[in-house]
Amino acid sequence: MRFYPPCSNGKEKDWESGFHYYGARYYWSETLTGWLSVDPMADKYPSISPYAYCAWNPIMLTDPTGDTIFNAYEVYKDVSQEIQRLTEMKEQESGLFKLFKRWSINNKIRNLKKNNLKYQKVQGALEAFKETNPEEYNRLDQLSSYGKKVNIIVSADLDKTHSPNGAEGTTDISFLQDKNTGDILGVSLFRITLYRSAFFPPSNGLATLANEMGDVFFATVKPQDAYLGLYGVKYEYKSYWKNASSQFSFAYEYYILNPNKHPKPNPYEY
């Protein structure tokens, strides 16, 4: 099979078809801006079109193989060469639209640096978690629910100090729900967001990440209780801080930060 030279997204273009080849599927960026076949893991994301690219969010997410969603900040691990290229391009601009073009390039450079900073913050928190408790990190990395591996996406919002309820981090959960009975069968995806306050010195984001990972662990083990805590009536007379998931998350955070002093909490006791 022959290929065109790599395109701007780093993927090859199939010589015969002219489509981008991702390994699991073909992608048609010029016209459809979507996959040409159904996602082989579409059953994990029933609320998302099986032809969608990165859940319609290519700014925050990337899909290097065509079958799994990964944290997009990885692509901003090293932006020095791209910044150098843009800087040289800016210096070569001339003519009537010189100022506008330079302004546009400066914006691109700022965005690269901003996303690189987010990568560093998130990666630092993940590495700290892994170093502090590698066994638990690996367990979370292999979590499964309803027979499917659970995906965890960690991002950072450095423009906000806290979430609307004052928390240093939030976790959005995609639940698997029986369409006929309404029962919660499991979970498929977690989107963890760490806010700027999570990284205030001397913190490196570990404490907040550990707390949010507690939500992940609790919801994976007890999805029905986690769902009721977020959307149901079970905890309607209790504040967020007093429901079972939150109580477990704080206990889990203490365990991660000091496993010798605090035992690992059991979600079934909450």
pLDDT of the residue at 25 = 61
Map out the domains of the chain as residue ranges. 3-68, 130-269
pLDDT of the residue at 6 = 42
pLDDT of the residue at 209 = 94
pLDDT of the residue at 107 = 87
Who's near 114: CB < 8 A, 6+ residues apart? 158
pLDDT of the residue at 236 = 45
DSSP notation for 220-257: HH-HHHHHHHHHSSTTTTS-GGGSHHHHHHHHHHHHHH
pLDDT, one tens digit for every residue, the chain (270 residues) = 333 334 445 555 655 556 666 655 666 665 555 665 556 566 656 656 666 666 666 655 666 555 443 444 676 788 888 888 888 887 776 666 677 787 888 888 888 899 889 989 998 999 899 899 988 888 888 888 888 888 888 899 999 999 887 889 999 999 988 888 888 889 988 889 999 999 998 889 999 999 999 999 999 999 998 888 877 654 444 455 678 888 999 999 999 999 889 999 999 998
What is the rounded distance in angstroms from the CA atom of residue 167 to the CA atom of residue 222? 22
DSSP state of 24: S
* Contact criterion met (CB below 8 Å) for 175 and 220: no
Tell me if the pTM is above 0.95: no
pLDDT of the residue at 85 = 86
Q: Is 126 exposed, middle or buried (0-12, 13-18, 19+ CB in 10 A)?
A: middle
pLDDT of the residue at 2 = 33
